[in-house]
């Protein structure tokens, strides 16, 4: 029997999904919905009453690869997650946050869920900065806004942890979650290869999935390594104890009596 640390984020071979997404909001998902909604309405009001200030806000808080690196706007890989361009944009992102985020938060807890959410969202933003600077042109100067990088990270985690959970593809065709993830991952990858030009930043989508995949797999490998070290340590101590007991037996045979009586 092995012993050691058994924590971590779980893995697809240890998870089942018991049915239904449910409607109850979990605490962290609820806070994220409120923050995104507040930011959306604030930006909408700026667009109505002060369009110039709205443009400035998007330039300052959206993700502009050139500004992140050369103007030291280091907050942008975080703040871009809370801005959205229109009602449908924020609606579908927040719908997916509720759909995939609530079961993950129930499973992981709020702290781990938020850590993963922001890790994938910020990681997607940083990948977008690198790709944008390498690509140049509009990719380096056009702001990216939206929580899709983090949302795609949640989608990836849901597909890994609940691979057989049914999801309706385009609200019509039920498919297992792992198939759903493969379809959207392939679409994001193929779209990202086309480069900038469309209104949708597919690099951020792909980045969220990549960061989520390597983080979850990396945690699995890390805890597996801890378990193997604990097993090796236990075997090492057991061998030392066996050597000690053999030495004690040898000494008793030579002297004819033990060093002490144990009661």
148 is catalytic: yes
Out of 89, 148, 202, 220, which one is annotated catalytic? 148
Nearest to 98 by CA among 112, 113, 83: 113
Q: What is the token pair recorded at 97?
A: 């946050």
Nearest to 128 by CA among 38, 196, 58: 196
R_g over Cα of the chain: 26
Handedness of CA 79, 118, 19, 186 (dihedral sign): positive
Nearest to 124 by CA among 213, 32, 206, 216: 206
**Do the beta carbons of residue 149 and residue 120 sit within 8 Å?**
yes
Out of 89, 202, 205, 223, which one is annotated catalytic? 205
Max distance between CA atoms of the chain, in angstroms, equals 99
Other CB atoms within 10 Å distance of the CB of residue 47: 15
Distances (CA, A) of 258 to 6, 101, 239, 254: 41, 64, 22, 10
d(CA 255, CA 155): 70
2 is catalytic: no
Residues with a known catalytic role: 148, 205
């Amino acid at each position: 029997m092995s012993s050691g640390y058994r924590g971590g984020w779980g893995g697809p071979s240890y998870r089942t999904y018991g049915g239904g997404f449910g409607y109850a909001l979990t605490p962290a998902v609820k806070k994220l919905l409120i923050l995104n909604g507040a930011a959306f309405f604030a930006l909408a009001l700026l667009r109505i009453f002060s369009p110039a200030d709205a443009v400035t806000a998007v330039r300052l808080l959206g993700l502009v690869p050139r500004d992140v690196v050369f103007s030291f706007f280091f907050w942008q890989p975080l703040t871009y997650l809370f801005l959205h361009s229109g009602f449908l944009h924020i609606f579908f992102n927040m719908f997916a946050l509720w759909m995939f985020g609530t079961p993950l938060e129930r499973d992981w807890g709020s702290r781990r869920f938020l850590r993963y959410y922001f890790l994938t969202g910020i990681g997607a933003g940083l990948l977008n900065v690198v790709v944008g600077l390498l690509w140049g042109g509009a990719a380096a100067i056009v702001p990216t806004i939206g929580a899709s990088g983090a949302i795609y990270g949640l989608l990836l985690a849901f597909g890994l942890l609940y691979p057989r959970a049914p999801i309706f593809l385009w609200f019509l065709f039920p498919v297992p979650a792992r198939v759903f993830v493969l379809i959207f991952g392939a679409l994001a990858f193929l779209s990202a290869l086309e480069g900038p030009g469309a209104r949708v930043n597919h690099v951020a989508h792909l980045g969220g999935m990549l960061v989520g995949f390597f983080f979850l797999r990396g945690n699995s490998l890390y805890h597996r390594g801890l378990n193997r070290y604990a097993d090796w340590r236990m075997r090492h101590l057991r061998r030392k104890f066996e050597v000690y007991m053999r030495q004690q037996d040898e000494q008793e045979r030579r002297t004819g009596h033990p060093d002490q009586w144990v009661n």
